[in-house]
Structure 1
Amino acid sequence: MASNSKTRSSSPASTIFKPGTLVEVNSDDDGFRGSWFTGKIVRRLVGEKFMVEYDNLTVDEDGTERLKEPIRLRQLRPIPPKEITRDFKFGDEVDAYHNDGWWEGHITGILEDGRKTVYFRVSREQLEFPNEELRLHREWVNGGWIPPFPQQDDSEIKKTVRVKAAETVTGDNADFKFEEGALVEVCSDEDGFKGAWFCATLVEPKAEGKFVVEYESLLDDDSKLLREEVSMLQIRPRPPKTDDVDQFKFLDEVDAYYNDGWWVGVVSKVPGDSKYIVYFRNSNEELEFQHSQLRLHQDWVDNKWLMASKALKF
């Protein structure tokens, strides 16, 4: 037991959160799901817990005493780097600054004055925000931001993320291992393929957290199944099947099977007859799909599968 405790206390993920480190914290409490609040690390507690002091949450009516509480490692992430203000589009997944925190939602409208309407799936509210109160939604996964910030290139991400080949997955995929023969999905950073996942098999582990994969439906120039070397950051297990969905709803985040892969999009129209119009924010396109060509989108976060509306809960 002592040996295991020592291993956990020296894990790379926990060592970045030192006293004074500025962080964002999410909560498991009802009414706060899908939100992040800023604060700083006060001190390390027993195990992988930390005492955090919030910037904007207080314990008294006068607002003079800031709230402090113990937080688990899995509820913490660094403050995201600032990025240049961008022009958000319909369907963009964003964080909106509201009630002293950042809340996850989707752009559902663009007003004449440039303000955006944002729909929050958890609370089923729709509110208006100026651009300066919005940011592109990102996940903190294995020590790196997904999607990465423009100023981060692959070499910088590899320095902060250390994934071992044959690492055992815990949680929803407790029996899964990143090893030869494992069935996976692979994403690409190439233009025209962002937001897509392709079924593949792990063929051979390589150095520096890379793997050779063989795709199930992509062919090379010789009409053979394509093989290529990819980073472990681009690999995830195949998503588990979700409960059968009788009908997808407006603004459901889905994966649509198209051009031999699963592409992340948002249901923008429901015309009926088991047909759906899906908007793809990366290509700014709308396409029609049958019910059988869609699946509810799931996020692979901290070695767990989470539904889109719970992507921040890990």
Structure 2
Amino acid sequence: MSQKGKCGIGVNTEGPPHLQPGSTVEIKPPEFGYQGAWYTATIIQRNTPIPSRRFMVQFTHLFQDQKTGERPLRMFSVSHIRPQLPPLRPRKFKQGEDAGAYHKYGWWEGVILQEWNNGNYLFMFHSDNHSPKYVVFGVNQLRLHRTWFNGYWVPPVQESELAVEEVQREEEYNEGDLVEVRNDEDGSNRSWFAAIIVKPVGNKRYLIQYVTLETEDNTDFLEKEVDTSHIRPRPPDIVVPDQFVMLDQVDAFYKGGWWKGVIIKVLSGDSKYHVYLATREEMEFKHDELRLHQDWIDGKWTKPSPAKRRTMSQKGKYTIGLGIEDPPHLQPGSRVEIKPRGFGYRGAWFSAIIIKRDTPIYSNHFVVKFTDLYLDKNTGTRPLKKMSIVFIRPQPSPQRPRKFKIGDNADAYHMNGWWEGVIVVELQDDNYVFLFHSEYQWPKCLVFGVSQLRLHRTWFGGYWMPPALESELDVEEVQREEEPTKITMEMEELSEGALVEVANDEDGFNRAWFAAIIIRPRPPDIPVPDQFEMLDQVEALYKGGWWKGVIINVLSEDSKYQVYLATHEEMEFKHSNLRLHQDWVHGKWTKPSPVI
């Protein structure tokens, strides 16, 4: 988490989504008169220092100053904060059920004593300080009592309990509404501009008037007709009481519109910041020219979270918020299958490794290296190739040998590739006559054993068609790990694979604790043929170990980079002292992904 509770790359203080700034939560104040009730509030920021478990909040209904009408910011421990329960359908209650009753702007804990007529219930407050002790509530003022425990509601909220929210029609904007309009013209790069709805013109289109863009003769504000896909409401304000912090995702006010970017430097004076925009420009902005970034998705405002809103750098790695999200199989280092267009290879899929997304970032081409093709006999190396995304698909999971029927569409492994074709004859000993689909393959038919064949599947819309059943997948033999060095401690013996934390008390480490496993393999090398890019997630060799960080500046000389480490230090590293970040999860190396 950053100091405001937003998730940044490589900072080990990430919190759950409901503790991000701008999130609506429920809080149980400890003050007399409020004990026993949960009140809605908005998270403003995490208290400093960063490891603090206290948050600054603003209540929705409580503590309003009668003179100014404002509600002060207050500090609460995380133990008094929980997510806001989703809207629930009205339900029947039984005598003795624990419930919550909405009373005086809060949800009070209590119990159902008796069912009355017309969907009303006699409710007893648990709080000893509440008077009266018994009140009659209607079913719409009651909900089943739940406890927030270790990140889950107890009892869980079933889908059948959720209230059915009415979907807002697309043409729900009225004359005079304040909105923001996306501008896709050259140079605007999907920026958002404040506007006013002038009138609907039919067919899901509106006439709007910009608030910041003027006509060519500067006599009036520009008017334009746009459809609803280019319109969204104005985002709610999220208070930033102190300052933005490194790697905050923001919108910057520039050329009359709001442009998405990332804070890459906090300047010490005058509350100014260096922002790396989605246009790949680095610019300086004042505090009042920035706002926290939010997205309008399915009729709701959402804030970037570590599972969902990380996006890609030019190499396809997930960084913070720059607009293009590639699926996991297109990340650098991923093994894929590619169908080359060259004569002699058409009709077959060959294995390759993704190196990076081609520049510019919006290109649909990727730089790849084939595993078995294009070997230079003189140098023993394989050149990098540029391939369109339409000829790239994930590498299918290994499949068990299976029986085929005549007419089955299949792939046959031949000359280092998987060739598309059809089974035409079944022979003895699990052999089959296979007919190649390719017009350029000769001979047209060959005999293949069952271990050289697989059922043909098509990669379409992010899914394999037909889907691979679990029973079809091959059981991969788990490679035995090398016997680790046995570590004996006075209090206990650590066994192979035990999860531990190791303290390093040497000068300069500040008594840091390092999470460790008794042994893990070294990560595979991912080639970086040219240079690292802005906001690439890397690991830097520092003090004898690899420290996670983010590239925040590419220096022009000597292939050097400024890296913002997870320790909140900004340091300079050579290219040779950096590697792309990978995680060792469940026995496999994984690259940063959006299930962020």
State the TM bucket, normalised to the shorter chain: 0.3 to 0.5
User: Taking CA–CA contacts closer than 8 Å with sequence separation of 6 or more, which of the two structures ends up with the larger relative contact order?
Assistant: 1
Report the structure, 1 or 2, having the larger helix content.
1
Question: Max radius of gyration: which structure?
Answer: 2
TM superposition score normalised by structure 1:
0.43
